Amino acid sequence: MAKLVRKGYLLAPGPTPVPNEVSLEGARETIHHRTPQFKKIMDEAIEGTKYVFQTENDLFMLASTGTGAMEMAAANLVSADEKVVVISVGKFGERWEELCKVFGAKAITIRKEYGDYVSPEELDDVLKQNPDASVVFATLSETSTGTVMDIEGFSRVTQRHSVLLAVDCISGLVAQPMKTDEWGVDVVVAGSQKGFMLPPGLAYASFSSKALQKAEEVTTPRFYFNARAYKKDPAPWTPAVNLIYQQRAAVRLLKEEGIENVWARHEVLAEATQRGVAALNLELFSKRPGNVLTAVKVPEGVDGGKIVSIMRDEYGVTLAGGQGTMKGKIFRISHLGYVSGFDIVVAFTALEKVLRRLGHSVPYGAGGAAVMEFLEKEGY
């Protein structure tokens, strides 16, 4: 039998696909980072990134993954034995908790099961019970489940209690509305390999004036992730020069589209994906799904690990499996960053084929048809 052409489709929530014009920027000649030429490039990249963050606060660009930016937030906001509140509904809420404990903080964790969410009212109750808490650590989009939190609501609560709010927006930024200054969020962290449409290797952290003041007061030892050093010099250590070329190119694309239009595009793709799931009589996992990814429950009697591995290894369509306690129980279809409606159709075509192969009967074409009908209705 003739061998078919195999193409790759990346529909995992990081790394995400990179546009050609962004990829090519990374092939430019590497110049020295202590030159006026590079300073201009970095300044433009930072200003463009501030636009995406919707902030005029200081924004630091780190040569690290998003977890490095999370560590910077924790290291500069908490001292040993200080009480903080962590909101955890999945793998990355758990990461906030782990980081806070590394730096000796007393973490009061509002914990819900994977797929659930925490309301502003619940946060308000916990802060009333813990008036000595100084920081709340939250997540915009819990990547392990696709669940989105009400950050605007959280911010109203933390401001009422005079508590700082730090938010992991690593997968949520770009796909979900995030109005840092308008909502009054003190620290926002993100990473390059998600909605920014870059390879992994850059992270970002915006700090409000209140957060920077806290960074002056905490006693936690820190060196590489010292916010005070970045405040004095945006490149206190050698920056990721070629990735910053790419960052400048990526934020230009996002600015040309307009951030409100970017949010709307992700919302349409999310809804289209959810309609495809419903057309196959599959069940959504998250109780509050967002625009980043769609988490789907594995049908009873089907090996969830095989869904992901066969789609990736045999058909070239990379989805994400479940993390933590959800391993093998869910799979995740990303619609984040440089993804089109046709990519989603391809994902459903492969999914239908694999589900049938694994003994779960679904009609060919049903998922893709539901996606295309919705996109047509929305004018995409």
Residue 4: pLDDT above 80?
no
Residue 368: pLDDT above 80?
yes
Res 380: pLDDT: 87
Residue 274: pLDDT above 70?
yes
Measured distance CA(11)–CA(319) in Å, rounded: 5
41: confidence class by pLDDT, cuts 50, 70, 90:
very high
User: Which strand (E) or helix (H) includes residue 112?
Assistant: none
Q: Helix/strand/coil (H, E, C) string of 303-326? A: CHHHHHHHHHHHHCEECEECCHHH
| Angle of helix 91-102 versus helix 66-77 axis, rounded to 10 | 40
Q: For the segment 206-236, what is each residue's pLDDT rounded down to a tens digit?
A: 999 999 999 999 999 999 999 999 999 999 9
CATH fold for the domain made of 9-16+259-378: Aspartate Aminotransferase, domain 1 (3.90.1150)
Neighbours of 141 (CB within 10 A): 32
Residue 199: pLDDT above 80?
yes
Residue 1: pLDDT above 70?
no
Res 6: pLDDT: 82
Res 215: pLDDT: 98
- Rounded to an integer, the average pLDDT of 358-380 is 96
- Rounded to an integer, the average pLDDT of 87-116 is 97
Average pLDDT of the residues of the chain: 97
Query: Would you list the domain boundaries of the chain?
Result: 9-16+259-378, 20-257
Percent of all residues in the chain with a pLDDT value above 90, rounded to a whole number: 97
Q: For the segment 55-72, what is each residue's pLDDT rounded down to a tens digit?
A: 999 999 999 999 999 999
Res 3: pLDDT: 72
The DSSP symbol for 253 reads H
Helices marked H in the chain: 20-25, 36-53, 66-77, 91-102, 120-129, 151-160, 180-183, 209-217, 227-232, 241-257, 259-279, 304-315, 341-357, 366-378
Q: Burial of 250 by CB count in 10 Å (0-12 exposed, 13-18 middle, 19+ buried)? A: buried
Res 347: pLDDT: 98
CATH fold for the domain made of 20-257: Aspartate Aminotransferase; domain 2 (3.40.640)
Half-sphere exposure of residue 130, counting CA atoms within 13 Å on the CB side? 22
- Rounded to an integer, the average pLDDT of 371-375 is 97
Res 325: pLDDT: 87
Q: What is the pTM of this model?
A: 0.96
Compute the radius of gyration of the chain from its Cα atoms.
21
Q: For the segment 157-185, what is each residue's pLDDT rounded down to a tens digit?
A: 999 999 999 999 999 999 999 999 999 99
Amino acid at 319: L
Half-sphere exposure of residue 261, counting CA atoms within 13 Å on the CB side? 7
Measured distance CA(158)–CA(136) in Å, rounded: 7
| Angle of helix 341-357 versus helix 366-378 axis, rounded to 10 | 160
- Rounded to an integer, the average pLDDT of 143-164 is 98
Measured distance CA(332)–CA(322) in Å, rounded: 7
Q: For the segment 7-35, what is each residue's pLDDT rounded down to a tens digit?
A: 899 999 999 999 999 999 999 999 999 99
Long-range contacts of 38-42 (CB under 8 A, 24+ apart): 38/241, 38/244, 41/244, 41/245, 41/248, 42/234, 42/235, 42/239, 42/244
Half-sphere exposure of residue 262, counting CA atoms within 13 Å on the CB side? 27
